[in-house]
Amino acid sequence: MTAFERHFDFNQVFNFRDLGVYETEDGRALRWRRLFRTAEHQRMTPEEAERLFQEVALRTVIDFRSDGEAGDARGFGALVREGVRRHHFPMGNANSKFEARSAGVWRPDYIESLETYPEHWIEAFGLLAEDETYPAAFHCVTGKDRTGVFAVLVLNSLGVDDETVLEDYFLSQRAMDTLVERLRHRGVLKPDETPNPALGVSREAMAEMMEHLRTRYGGARGFLTSHGVDASTFDAVEGQLLEPRA
């Protein structure tokens, strides 16, 4: 890991990356090494965790996994330790990826995720207004679906353009490809075995949700405002995450 590398590489933890540097429409940019998105991290080794904390002294973990997923016997993962606050906003169907494997198809409904759990999105967004939150990481299981919805809410509300937001979402495909490659290398997947379709990334599904945000709410800020986020919170989040104007 270097100071200017977006993606962090761990042996069995995928999709850990920095949300910094993305530019906003008013010419500012997200701060580097401030906010991260990732998959669950129970398989992160103690050595990998120490390497991460030497570079990024995380203070907050935001967990969007369902109760069933978060109740893993291995615990919450190597990032949850003394000095790190974990906030759990349970959502989603713990069996969805198993169902996708059985059905042979993955059709994520990001609009449903958005509209079913507004109170969780609002609470999580509110954490981003607080000094003591940072540096922070948010995650679900694979770090692309529920995590992706929250990333859209954050980036769009800060004024990052739609194409950049979608490109950030689609970076998860790189992580999923690496995951599949390593599963094959370890023999978990046979060379000719088709991976679980839930390990795919649907740009179309996320674009559909973003269009829903635009047409129904006027964008992420409209959605967040309609559920109680006020102007002072937006100002505070901007102050925490955006570099000041030159």
Give the Cα separation of 143 and 10 in Å (integer): 14
Residue 3 has pLDDT above 50, yes or no: no
Residues 6+ apart with CB under 8 A from 181: none
Residue 246: predicted pLDDT: 62
93-103 confidence digits (pLDDT tens): 877 777 877 78
- Residue 246 within a domain: no
Residues in a beta bridge with 88: 63
**CA torsion through residues 184, 189, 193, 194, sign:** negative
The chain-wide mean pLDDT, for the chain, equals: 92
Residue 11 pLDDT > 50 = yes
Q: Is residue 238 predicted with pLDDT exceeding 90?
A: yes
Percent of the chain with pLDDT over 70: 98
Helices (H) and strands (E) in the chain, counts: 11, 6
pLDDT tens digits for 192-220? 888 888 888 999 999 999 999 999 999 99
Give the CA distances from residue 193 to residues 107, 187, 189, 202, in Å, rounded to whole numbers and listed in that order: 20, 11, 6, 21
Predicted local distance difference test score (pLDDT) of residue 191: 87
Residue 2 lies inside a defined structural domain of this protein: no
Q: Is 191 left (phi over 0), alpha (psi -120 to 50) or beta?
A: alpha
The range of the structural domain enclosing residue 43 comes to 7-241
CA–CA dist 136, 156 (Å, integer): 18
Average pLDDT over residues 27-32: 95
Does some domain include residue 15?
A: yes
Q: What pLDDT sits at residue 196?
A: 84
In a domain, 117, yes or no: yes
Percentage with pLDDT > 90 across the chain: 74
Query: Does 125 fall in a domain?
Result: yes
What average pLDDT does this structure show over 69-94?
89
Cα separation of 142 and 96, whole Å?
12
Work out the average pLDDT over 215-236.
Answer: 98
Which pLDDT score is estimated for 27?
Answer: 93
Q: CA 38, 43, 45 angle in degrees (round to 5)?
A: 105
The answer to whether residue 179 is domain-embedded is yes
What's the total number of domains in the chain? Answer: 1
pLDDT at 182 over 90: no
β strands within the chain, DSSP E: 7-8, 16-18, 35-38, 60-63, 85-88, 136-139
| 1 inside domain | no
Residue 2 has pLDDT above 70, yes or no: no
Name the amino acid, one letter, at 83: G
pLDDT digits (tens, 9 = 90+) for 50-61: 999 999 999 999
Whether 155 contacts 167, CB under 8 Å: no
Query: What local confidence, expressed as pLDDT, does residue 165 receive?
Result: 98
Residues near 127 by beta carbon (within 8 Å), at least 6 away in sequence = 60, 62, 87, 133, 136
CATH number for 59:
3.90.190.10
CB 58 within 8 A of CB 137: yes
Listed residue (166, 62, 61) closest to 122, CA to CA: 62
- Chain centre to alpha carbon of residue 12: 17
In a domain, 159, yes or no: yes
